Amino acid sequence: MSDILKGKPVADAISAQIREKVEKLKQDKITPTLAILRVGEREDDLSYERGTMKRCENTGVAVKNIILPEDIDEKSFFETLENLNSDNQIHGILMFRPLPKHLDGERARCMLNPQKDVDGCTDGSLAGVFTNSKSGFAPCTAEAAMEILKFYGIDPAGKRAVVIGRSLVIGRPVAMLLMHANATVTICHTKTQNMAEIVREADIVICASGQMESIGKEFLAPGQTVIDVGIGWNEQKQKLCGDVIFEEADEVAAITPVPGGVGAVTTSILVRHVVEAAKK
Amino acid sequence: MSDILKGKPVADAISAQIREKVEKLKQDKITPTLAILRVGEREDDLSYERGTMKRCENTGVAVKNIILPEDIDEKSFFETLENLNSDNQIHGILMFRPLPKHLDGERARCMLNPQKDVDGCTDGSLAGVFTNSKSGFAPCTAEAAMEILKFYGIDPAGKRAVVIGRSLVIGRPVAMLLMHANATVTICHTKTQNMAEIVREADIVICASGQMESIGKEFLAPGQTVIDVGIGWNEQKQKLCGDVIFEEADEVAAITPVPGGVGAVTTSILVRHVVEAAKK
């Protein structure tokens, strides 16, 4: 029977730290403020927006919602973004991506003020993750995975970590964060051969391929800590599932549940970034 | 007996390609020009400068040498750098680092025009290596290692690669380049445990720890391709040596010699970057 690494206590601990910092900032007449920029009404975006707003409310961080119609013209969109960039009352910007196809998403990403890039998507933030310069912000999900390890006392130093997936939102940045924490990191991806064998050698496994229930018992070994970043609706089982077949992970030392694992921590990291941006 | 992957044929092939491109640019009245900015007279810098100038001469790329005294004041140094940044006749800048201690090296690195950063040291270049956006330039030594694999027909796709060393000039960037080429990459470093065992599992080994003759036969296995990035003077043997104990690598499939391996390719990559910068 594995330990279940729930996200909620981690998120609660981070929220408590945030509240303290927000109190101090308010004494200096600063209210940390997040702008949420959403185009259209995608269900994923709406769900993440609700979670973020709840977390902000809960910690004293203000939110400014900017909701633009799906068919907004390019000029108006970029004017809106530019205004948020230059507005001194806005400390962080969460811009939902991908944008609708008629808007240039790459241009928007590059235009975003790196100091307000609390979601860690600009080149400045990604360079900071790569160089370990602490400038910019790491992508929230990658940092959430690291916070869970830290909260539960699992030090990556000297351990073998395998990251499954090489995306820029989670796989690559979490690999760098683990390496900065002195783990020996291997990155697996769609072109990896004998993946099960490689994953079995790991002490820490980060599952971030986005392939639901693709990691079964042949990938896992006793003693491992498994962080499951995936989340999706399993039509057959009629429930949310991660990248791991949870029932087959009963011999690992510890595993994050889905839902209620990494996802529960991500918004608290985002809000922490807003407060850090406001402090700067 | 291993195949010896010499650098010279690789460098010669690249030089031939460069000459063709330079010819075309000259028809458009553009002479690709590299500025070499050196402070003081460090032997390492002088040696690399000589190699670079020879390669430039050999390919039709112009060089502008800017040599500043060791004790130059900060204001004059940064004015010089700013002038090179804004000079339209200069396409690439090679700034030797580390700078003397009284000059702010980090400020200089950040100030360097990313479009002229042919040595791949700015955040813009490093972000490009991390994101695989092809913007900026990869650090030359990392790209040289990849060129050697390519020249000798060793495709990293699907193979296991182990990089020993996590520096920003070679370890981390070459790990990313290998991953973009679809290898399954593991990064080892000073905090790695059981390193020999991990390295033995690799198909491709990149030795970039800078620890002379630290990789002996217990790290190596038949069938491996070994790229030795290290170079240093071995006092005892009275010759240049790499990170690998060369005599103990006789069972691997192929290995780069030191000297005459990666080092022989690095300057041709630098010069290729100057031509690419001029084309842009």
- From B166's Cα to the closest Cα of chain A, the distance in A is 9
**A interface mutation test: which of B186, B190, B209 has the most A CBs within 10 A?**
B186
- From B175's Cα to the closest Cα of chain A, the distance in A is 10
Give the residue on A whose Cα is nearest the Cα of B161: A186
Chain B residues near residue A188 by CB distance under 8 angstroms: 184
Partner residue facing A126 (CB), from B131, B179, B187: B131
B127: left (phi over 0), alpha (psi -120 to 50) or beta: alpha
* Distance between CA atoms of residues A267 and A263, nearest Å: 8
Regarding the domain with residue range A29-119, which homologous superfamily does it belong to in the CATH classification?
Answer: Leucine Dehydrogenase, chain A, domain 1 (3.40.50.10860)
* CATH architecture entry for B30-115: 3-Layer(aba) Sandwich (3.40)
Interface predicted TM-score (ipTM): 0.95
Cross-chain Cβ contact A184/B182 below 8 Å: no
Instruction: List per-residue pLDDT tens for chain A, 280 residues long.
Output: 799 999 999 999 999 999 999 999 999 999 999 999 999 999 989 999 999 999 999 999 999 999 999 999 999 999 999 999 999 999 999 999 999 999 999 999 999 999 999 999 999 999 999 999 988 999 999 999 999 999 999 999 999 999 999 999 999 999 999 999 999 999 999 999 999 999 999 999 999 999 999 999 999 999 999 999 999 999 999 999 999 999 999 999 999 999 999 999 999 999 999 999 999 8
Partner residue facing A127 (CB), from B123, B184, B198: B123
User: Reduced to 3 states, what is the DSSP secondary structure of residue B185?
Assistant: strand
Q: What is the mean pLDDT of residues B96-118?
A: 95
Q: Can you give the pLDDT at residue B135?
A: 85
Chain B residues near residue A134 by CB distance under 8 angstroms: none
Give the residue on A whose Cα is nearest the Cα of B194: A158
CATH no., domain A140-263: 3.40.50.720
Domain ranges (residues) in chain A: 29-119, 140-263
B234-260: pLDDT as tens digits:
999 999 999 999 999 999 999 999 999
Q: Is A187 annotated as a binding residue?
A: no
Amino acid type, B8: K
The radius of gyration computed from the CA coordinates of chain A, to the nearest angstrom, equals 19
Give the residue on B whose Cα is nearest the Cα of A186: B186
Question: In 3D, which of A236, A241, A239, A243 has the Cα closest to residue A219?
Answer: A243
Q: Can you give the pLDDT at residue B29?
A: 96
Q: Is A165 annotated as a binding residue?
A: yes
* Distance between CA atoms of residues A135 and A276, nearest Å: 11
**B interface mutation test: which of A107, A121, A123 has the most B CBs within 10 A?**
A123
> The CATH number of B140-264 is which of 3.40.50.150, 3.40.50.720, 3.40.50.300, 1.10.357.10?
3.40.50.720
CA-CA-CA-CA dihedral for B149, B150, B156, B161, to nearest 10:
20
CB B10 within 8 A of CB B267: no
Q: Can you give the pLDDT at residue A134?
A: 85
Extended beta strands in chain A, E state = 3-4, 33-39, 62-68, 92-95, 160-164, 184-188, 204-207, 225-228, 232-234, 239-241, 254-255
Residue with tokens 């529960």: A264
- From A136's Cα to the closest Cα of chain B, the distance in A is 12
Topology alike, domains B30-115 and B140-264: yes
